[in-house]
Amino acid sequence: MSSSATTIVRDRQLTAVGIVGFAATMAIAAQIAIPIPGTPVPFTLQPLAVVLAGLWLGPVAGATSMVLYLLAGAVGLPVFSPIGAPGVLRLIGPTGGYLLATPAAAAIAGLVGRRFPAFAGRMLASFLGIAMLYVGGVMQLELLTGSLSRAAALGSTPFILADLGKVVVAAIISPARANRPPA
């Protein structure tokens, strides 16, 4: 086997490990769930895990890790936050929009982070990834409450400051990878 073929096989193996690893990271981040009075959405570390998946793995592998996480939860594995309905029912409940937005959020973070690998670019990537989670979450809450203003009050306002902190943390601990091939 040639050196380049060995490198490709090793890169694919590392990517597969990364996909499974970030799906597991999401499951762990979901278990750290703090109920917030007045909202059905708990505080978790999941937004941080989502954007890190995109920043570390790239847009495709990052999104794939989130799809794997969603599939594991939908079939009933205990990977979702302990607050809420089990299995696939979680995807149609108050936090379902955030969950369903995770593949897109990881892809956005990965795309922007790859295009702008400097610290400021990784900050932007993290911010846009988390913003995508807000879009999905607030849209689902609007469907459930019938009010966009109520949905925003329940699903974004209580979390903005903490999520801005997650943006900074993600930018600090993510790698600057401008020359990696798309994954």
Kindly report, residue by residue over 122-160, the tens digit of the pLDDT.
Answer: 999 999 999 999 999 999 999 999 999 999 999 999 999
C-beta of residue 83 within 8 angstroms of C-beta of residue 35: yes
pLDDT band at 163 (very low <50, low <70, confident <90, very high): very high
Please give the C-alpha separations between residue 19 and each of 77, 85, 102, 141, in angstroms, as whole numbers.
Answer: 17, 25, 13, 29
Domains and CATH numbers, the chain: 3-173 (1.10.1760.20)
Q: Among 5-14, 35-44, 79-88, 105-114, whose mean pLDDT is lowest?
A: 5-14
3-state secondary structure of 108: helix
Whole-angstrom distance, CA of residue 71 vs CA of residue 73: 5
| Predicted local confidence at residue 54, as pLDDT | 98
Say if residue 82's pLDDT is above 50: yes
> What pTM was computed for the model?
0.91
